[in-house]
Structure 1
Amino acid sequence: MRTDAAAAPCRSRILAVLGPTNTGKTHLAMERMLGYASGMMGFPLRLLARENYERAVKVKGPKLVALITGEERILPADARYFLCTVESMPLTRRVDFLGLDEIQMCADPDRGHIFTDRLLHARGERETMFLGADTIRPLLRRLVPQAEFDSRPRFSRLTYSGACKLSRLPPRSAVVAFSVADVYALAELVRRQRGGTAIVLGALSPRTRNAQVALYQAGEVDYLVATDAIGMGLNMHVDHVAFAATRKFDGRHARMLAPAELAQIAGRAGRFTKDGSFGTTAEVGALDPDLVERIENHAFDPLHNLYWRATDLAFTSVAALRASLARPPKRPGLIRAREADDELALGHLAAENDIAALAASPESVRLLWEVCQIPDFGKVHSDGHARLQGRVFRYLAGSGGQRRRLPEDWVAKQVDRINRIDGDIEALMQRIAGIRTWTYVSHRADWLDDAPAWQERTRAIEDKLSDALHERLIQRFIDRRTASLVVRMRESGDLLTTIGASGEVTVEGHRIGMLKGFRFIGELMPGGVGTAVEEARRAVNAAAERALRSDMSGRLASFEADADEAFRLTDDAQLLWRGAVVAALRRSDHVLTPRIEPLASDLLPSDGRTRMRRRLQQWLDAHLRHMLPSLHLAGDAVLSGAARGLVFQLGEALGALPRHRVEPQIAALEERDRKTLRSLGLRLGRETIWFADLLKPGPMRLRSLLWSVHAEQPPCLPPAAGTVSLPVMLGVSPAYYTACGYSVVGPRAIRIDMLERLAARAAGLAREGPFVPPGDFPTLVGCARSELPAILAALGYQAEQTEAGIHFRRACRRRRNPDASPGRRPRQPRHDPHSPFASLRVLKS
């Protein structure tokens, strides 16, 4: 009920219950209200109104309890108890009990005038109760002399614990900063050091804020990073409050927080009879001892003035309205409030000529003032909100003094533009602020044709955006694996570890890594630091190691018994088992028998690597026989000494040799040996001898790999399948090209079979005398025509300039040695001391 307290004091009992945080003031007021036949409570936050509405519904049932805020109205026909924000209290209703929470907010520069109005004029029929800090006592006694006072002590002690590094904060701590940017930066640090944190900002919707607080309350995270939004009404199990700053920007200028403001926030620590502590982060440093003493003892200077603004406004004209708003208070202890957002909006809109023309009657001036009170929940103070207010007024004011409603298609367009859940945290917060504005508009039944439908629609959109924002906050600021594991460690030292069929390792249901082959690849908390994270990492690793060690015996047995199809050799000389790297090839004494080096693993039993090497060697032997069959069949064949020596050298060269290097062995071959080797695919060309089946793409890749391993060179892929020739690369050994099935001839490496075709064609032409190379020679070996002279020269042909052009003739036959340099004698061939020919040389000597 609204009364004029100065002119006709209300006969109801007026009680001011004053004291610090955690004194049970709100609980007392709710109990008193629900003990009457009707009642009303005004709260500073929509969140608090909703929380106490739900509490009242549990006691009285939903048919008797109403919730009234700027954005939400639940108003049953038979409602008798009203839980409201202070601005939305329906003061025309008569109720037995009326209560106002956080009455010291009368001194707030932005909203104080609204609380002061309720202090002076809002009364219950039988009892009125003001709840708040003791700092308002002197002014309240002066302004409401009939008030009784009840001082309530704090249930628990609040003590100062000094400055502390962020990484050393105790669990169940709240870190407080005063800008969104600082909150995000601190939350990132806490996530890396402690596994995660909940976030509380004034800009969050109540639904998102409740979801974040629920994460903290449920113990999913042990830390909370917040602005001073936690200073009122959030009843959480906080043991310690750490200030990361003691200055804030209040919308007009930066200032130090007053001792009472610091105490209001610090008082969130310790609930009911459990003591709490407060302090600062290391960057802020220690608080002044006098300030600490005042906070611990709740000793603060009383308030000197309360903010006031006239409520009996004149609507005869815009000028009269602005003049009535500017009137100063007449009572001591009150000062005129600074221009609020609605006054600023009024000045902005009244300066527009068309709006000033529309606001020509008392009804239109009153409408303009109502439109100016549409809140800017984004608090960005941009022209965009003023433009929105202007369009709303133009639609509603109409023309000719005929009041209209907002066009449904225009409202739908504005709402649909916000109805998106893509984007980052900041984008979602702006959309939530936007939809809250339209929720406020939807509760003006005289502005919309179907207000209830719009209320339902905007509420659904806000809920959807709030849920999306909650998930984004979790994704950015909570490592749910670490947070869950830390909680589980606190409850029980044992962690349940499982290993999936695909090798996925989970601890307490959270994936922490993969078992790849016989090695564990962890994924837990990359880059995390801090005591809790380190403890979690050690505990998880220990649990995983125990489970993995017990699994190794069976895994090793499966490895040994697995089919050959489970193994594979990669192009970078690694051996895979079921897709996981388990070993690598290393150089040995012979190119065809590389050494197998299993990867190190602490999980294997003592004989594990030996057993791995044995099984991998079995597979590799079979694989080499399958891919290079002619080499292995030739080695097993019954041959004479000269043939065995030739086969030995072919094996060392991976199946291909320049003919001039083994000419003596070829000459010594018996007809029986030639027939046997021919049946195995050996080709005795003019330039090269080689096994024909080894020029297929698969064998060529394998030969390239084996050569690289034996030469201890980085693995290099052979030329693509079908490549006839390629330029010789600087620094690449000719032996590499030979191993791949190519022969270095002048500036190019030419595939052996195509080189033989060229050599045979050239020899046939040379028998007839000097010749001009046919036009298909470059195509035959895949070179430019300009490269052909150098290639023919390397094959032993000399160019001659004649009247008819350049001809080639056979030069004196010499052995082609790609390693030789002009002007030097060819190097003597090096002999393998272990070959059969070495023994023959010893016998002959």
Structure 2
Amino acid sequence: MCAHSSGTIGFPLRLLAREVYDRVCAIKGEDACALITGEERIEPPNARYFLCTAEAMPRDGGNRAFVALDEAQLGADRERGHIFTDRLLNARGREETMLLGAATLEPMVRALVPGALIEERPRFSTLSHAGACKLSRLPPRSAIVAFSVEQVYQVAELLRRFRGGAAVVMGALSPQTRNRQVELFQSGEVDYIVATDAIGMGLNLDVHHVAFASLSKFDGVRQRRLFPSEMAQIAGRAGRHQTDGTFGTLSGGQGTRGRGSPLEFTEEEVFAIEEHRFAPITKLFWREPQPRFDTLDVLIGDLEASPRVESLTAAPEAIDLAVLKRLSEDAEITRGVKTSGHVRRFWEACQLPDFRQLGPEAHARFVARLWSDLQHGHIGADFVARRIDELGNTAGDIDALQGRLAAIRSWAYICQRPDWVLARDEMAARARSAEAKLSDALHQRLTERFVNRRTAVLMRGMGKDAGLLRVNLEDDGRVTVEGQPIGHLDGFRFVVDPEASHEDRKLMLAAAEKHMAALLAQKANKLIADELGELSIADGKIMRDDKVVAELERSKLITQPRIVMTRELVQLDPAQKSRLQDALRVWLTEQLAPLAPLQAIEEAAEDPEAGSEVRALLLTLADRNGTVWREDAGLRHIPKEKRPFMRRLGVTIGSLDVYMPALLKPAPRRLLKALGVDPRPVREQMEAVIESAKPMPTGYRRAGRQAIRVDMAEKLFRSAHEQRAKAQAAGDKGAKGFPVDIALATSMGLADENFRSLMKDAGFRQGQKEELAEGMYGPERPVPWTWRAPRKDNAPQPRHRPAGGRKGKPVGKPQGKPDNQRHSRGPRKPANQPATGKALAGLADLLKK
């Protein structure tokens, strides 16, 4: 439409007309766009683009360049079909006319508009049947469709209890309320939306699954099963563009089809919905669009006349015709309806929509009261203003607000008529304002009743983004998640909010578990700052400036030392002492966070499922602070299928060392030294290559006159093994060895002679440089290298006492010599190196027993 100089589009819903009006305004500007519906009229003087409901759309299209009719298949609807049929037959654009609708309408279009060009737009995504599913197991981003207000409320209430709530969409809601509820779902505040079949038209949602709570509805005449095309219209809300969707039914008591039989689709219905194949429309409803207004009898006769075209059929009696016939039988009401002008005006009054869904009898009484004022001229502005003010009261429950909204929509329609109300523009503005207030109040009531924001927040917190939730500890000790209270801290113990339901308690405890460490650390830091000031760890003690606050005794696990408070603090009041001990324990846990990889292997070593061989290695690795020589690791006893388990723990099995790269960083090494677990010096930057020193810095191995970090050494060994594998794959039997690129070692700062010494430890030997024969010219051949596997792992070694002292002694007094103090004399192991060998094999047997 925007490609033409002017245009008109007719929509089935006021909501759709408003949505597209906003989009066209963004393109063409508000001065060029008009919105015309039964309850709202925005028509600038120079408007060129008109967005209308089908009823408000001009019959001939308004003499615009472009005309379109949306959802044209509604010509087969019992109540409104004749309106869409008339626009299909008569609304035409000067340059282009477009009829948008389901493929089932194609036969009728070919019969009624022979020259029409038919184009198909296939669905990009796949819609598939997912079967029945319990409400408690519905996937997120699901829509549940019911066909009665009672069932909508029932499903929404259950979702509130177990999933944090749902948005609610029904045809009786005003467009503003419907939009607000949809936004509640689209924004992700709730993951479910419960709706009537109003969801099937005019709502574009981010829905992945549609679940039917019922497959039958009351169509105004009888209770009947949905047609496959109607099922598809609703199920098609699942999936957007190229995102696939699914549909199914509710099981477990929330959905039945009567008499206790299960709710399920037939195979034919599933096939039709998935393949988009439906029975074609064979008849469209028609009613005389231009009746004569000579008398009421002539008018009724024309409205009940049969069509003269075979493809059309007379429309069933709509509510406006039913009201007209009932009122025409009352001589008191029709006494003044004599002229054609009065007949026309009387018919316009009867066409007032039944927004309150009262039915023909009750609605006819409302129209009769309206006509008693209209037949004498206009309705007084004071009377209309009083009625609008009365209906604008926002007190009451959901049902009361819905009733007032329906009534105010009737008055909004009345105020839009050009000759019904005095001060029409002012009264129309009042009606829209009252409708907006009622819509906001209804949205609030629906949200309060069917959305438990705390549960919704907690349910989102159980997902993969739980760490992104905003968790706060208030000054009064309350713990909140995204502003919703979940409990409070009693000392360093979390207490769930006593007002929470049983279902919420489980979620709160789970949410607290995810965030409690940070909250406890926050509280402990504040308490310690108030009581003791700034603390640090040094020499196996907790220090405040130069004074000892507590000593750290080694326990069974290095990462869980015991806190022994000094004599001065022991003499505190028992309650204050206990509070301070708890704070120190939480503070220490936070300080030991860099040792999380070491804690992981300590915990894995306690797990019987790991196997005795793996547990023996992990115990040794933990005792050596994350680095152990390969020959001490007992790898021969470890099954190959257990090695992926070790890799998941962050353990690297190298050519000469078994180590944890995460523990080679400065922070964990400094912390281990501060705890007194590893007395060796720690490098501030942990460079790749350093000058050799005594004692050897932690995390390094000797390489001639230099030292190299163990993970960098492994990088060099792997590069050499890759070169050897390439040479073997080439299959050059005449070659005396394989080349080794020393550029990587040079870039690390490792000297050539030290590189050769390091490689010798891993079994690599450099051969002799080959000189070119006399008379030959060209680049020098690379020096060949050979490799021979080092001596077997687990050779018998002398016993040693584990570093760190006996259980119960201060952590700051380790026993035994530091790791990795060896000379570069090939793979042979010095006599003073601690070993496991047979001792580790014996330990494995002992653990098995």
TM-score scaled by length of structure 2:
0.60
Number of the residue aligned with 1:406: 379
Contact 1:187 1:196 in 2 (8 A): yes
Q: Which of 20, 40, 59 matches 1:72? A: 40
Per the alignment, in what secondary structure is the counterpart of residue 271 of structure 2? helix
Within the alignment, does 1:312 sit opposite 2:290 as a pair? yes
Q: Distance in 1 between matches of 2:564 and 2:424?
A: 77
Q: Flag the 1:560–1:351 CA change in 2: closer, same or farther, 3 A.
A: farther
Within the alignment, does 1:542 sit opposite 2:510 as a pair? no
Deviation at 1:521, TM superposition (A): 3.5
Deviation at 1:516, TM superposition (A): 5.1
Q: Flag the 1:558–1:326 CA change in 2: closer, same or farther, 3 A.
A: same
Q: Flag the 1:153–1:355 CA change in 2: closer, same or farther, 3 A.
A: same
Deviations 1:267-295 (A, max 9, x none): 01111111111111114443211210110
Number of the residue aligned with 2:482: 508
Q: Which amino acid aligns with 1:354?
A: E
Deviation at 1:323, TM superposition (A): 1.1
Number of the residue aligned with 2:364: 386
The alignment yields a C-alpha RMSD, in angstroms, of 2.7
Q: Distance in 2 between matches of 1:108 and 1:382?
A: 18
Number of the residue aligned with 2:190: 221
Q: Flag the 1:538–1:294 CA change in 2: closer, same or farther, 3 A.
A: farther
Contact 2:323 2:361 in 1 (8 A): no
Number of the residue aligned with 2:89: 120
Per the alignment, in what secondary structure is the counterpart of residue 149 of structure 1? coil
Q: Which of 459, 471, 477 matches 1:497? A: 471
Deviations 1:641-678 (A, max 9, x none): xxxxxxxxxxxxxxxxxxxxxxxxxxxxxxxxxxxxxx
Deviation at 1:546, TM superposition (A): 2.5
Contact 1:498 1:547 in 2 (8 A): no
Q: Flag the 1:474–1:525 CA change in 2: closer, same or farther, 3 A.
A: farther
Q: Which amino acid aligns with 1:300?
A: F
Deviation at 1:152, TM superposition (A): 1.8
Deviation at 1:318, TM superposition (A): 1.1
Number of the residue aligned with 1:784: none
Q: Flag the 1:360–1:207 CA change in 2: closer, same or farther, 3 A.
A: same
Contact 1:560 1:612 in 2 (8 A): no
Q: Distance in 1 between matches of 2:317 and 2:340?
A: 22
Per the alignment, in what secondary structure is the counterpart of residue 354 of structure 1? coil
Q: Flag the 1:75–1:528 CA change in 2: closer, same or farther, 3 A.
A: farther
Within the alignment, does 1:154 sit opposite 2:154 as a pair? no
Q: Distance in 2 between matches of 1:544 and 1:91?
A: 63
Number of the residue aligned with 2:389: 416
Q: Distance in 1 between matches of 2:71 and 2:344?
A: 30
Runs of 5+ unmatched residues, structure 2: 257-262, 533-562, 579-849
Q: Mean Cα displacement is larger for which, 430-439 or 490-499? A: 490-499
Q: Distance in 1 between matches of 2:216 and 2:499?
A: 33
Q: Which of 407, 423, 446 matches 1:473? A: 446
Deviation at 1:145, TM superposition (A): 1.3
Q: Which amino acid aligns with 1:362?
A: S
Contact 2:169 2:181 in 1 (8 A): yes
Deviation at 1:388, TM superposition (A): 2.6
Q: Which amino acid aligns with 1:546?
A: A
Q: Which amino acid aligns with 1:550?
A: A
Deviations 1:67-101 (A, max 9, x none): 01000111011111111100000335200111011
What does residue range 78-93 of structure 1 map to in structure 2 within 5 Å? Answer: 78-91=46-59, 93=62
Contact 1:524 1:537 in 2 (8 A): no
Contact 2:147 2:216 in 1 (8 A): yes
Q: How many residues align?
A: 534
Number of the residue aligned with 1:196: 165
Q: Flag the 1:541–1:611 CA change in 2: closer, same or farther, 3 A.
A: farther
Q: Which amino acid aligns with 1:353?
A: A
Q: Which of 333, 353, 365 matches 2:331? A: 353
Within the alignment, does 1:325 sit opposite 2:303 as a pair? yes
Deviation at 1:374, TM superposition (A): 1.1
Q: Which amino acid aligns with 1:341?
A: I
Runs of 5+ unmatched residues, structure 1: 1-32, 399-403, 562-604, 618-845
Deviation at 1:481, TM superposition (A): 2.1
Q: Flag the 1:391–1:545 CA change in 2: closer, same or farther, 3 A.
A: same
Number of the residue aligned with 1:762: none
Q: Mean Cα displacement is larger for which, 160-169 or 508-517? A: 508-517
Deviations 1:215-266 (A, max 9, x none): 1111111111111111012111111111110001112211100000000000
Q: Distance in 2 between matches of 1:432 and 1:522?
A: 40
Contact 1:479 1:525 in 2 (8 A): no
Q: Distance in 2 between matches of 1:36 and 1:155?
A: 28
Q: Flag the 1:96–1:553 CA change in 2: closer, same or farther, 3 A.
A: closer
Q: Distance in 1 between matches of 2:499 and 2:95?
A: 60
Contact 1:263 1:295 in 2 (8 A): yes
Q: Flag the 1:76–1:553 CA change in 2: closer, same or farther, 3 A.
A: closer
Q: Flag the 1:558–1:155 CA change in 2: closer, same or farther, 3 A.
A: closer
Q: Which of 45, 62, 67 matches 2:13? A: 45
Q: Distance in 1 between matches of 2:245 and 2:76?
A: 27
Q: Mean Cα displacement is larger for which, 544-553 or 296-305? A: 544-553
Number of the residue aligned with 1:288: 266
Within the alignment, does 1:302 sit opposite 2:280 as a pair? yes
Number of the residue aligned with 2:744: none
Deviation at 1:371, TM superposition (A): 0.3
Q: Which of 358, 362, 370 matches 2:348? A: 370
What does residue range 559-574 of structure 1 map to in structure 2 within 5 Å? Answer: none
Deviation at 1:312, TM superposition (A): 2.2
What does residue range 697-776 of structure 1 map to in structure 2 within 5 Å? Answer: none
Q: Flag the 1:500–1:609 CA change in 2: closer, same or farther, 3 A.
A: farther
What does residue range 569-584 of structure 1 map to in structure 2 within 5 Å? Answer: none
Q: Flag the 1:35–1:560 CA change in 2: closer, same or farther, 3 A.
A: closer
Q: Distance in 2 between matches of 1:525 and 1:144?
A: 66
Per the alignment, in what secondary structure is the counterpart of residue 335 of structure 2? helix
Q: Flag the 1:497–1:396 CA change in 2: closer, same or farther, 3 A.
A: closer
Q: Flag the 1:287–1:273 CA change in 2: closer, same or farther, 3 A.
A: same
Deviations 1:77-126 (A, max 9, x none): 11111111000003352001110111110111111111011111111111
Within the alignment, does 1:259 sit opposite 2:228 as a pair? yes
Deviations 1:460-484 (A, max 9, x none): 1100100111111111111112223
Q: Flag the 1:609–1:163 CA change in 2: closer, same or farther, 3 A.
A: farther
Q: Mean Cα displacement is larger for which, 426-435 or 410-419? A: 410-419
Contact 2:17 2:53 in 1 (8 A): yes
Contact 2:471 2:479 in 1 (8 A): yes
Q: Flag the 1:475–1:64 CA change in 2: closer, same or farther, 3 A.
A: same
Contact 2:210 2:248 in 1 (8 A): yes
Contact 1:482 1:524 in 2 (8 A): no
Q: Flag the 1:492–1:614 CA change in 2: closer, same or farther, 3 A.
A: closer
Q: Flag the 1:385–1:556 CA change in 2: closer, same or farther, 3 A.
A: same
Deviations 1:486-505 (A, max 9, x none): 33554623144322222221
TM-score scaled by length of structure 1:
0.60
Contact 1:497 1:547 in 2 (8 A): no
Q: Distance in 1 between matches of 2:401 and 2:246?
A: 34
Q: Which amino acid aligns with 1:239?
A: H
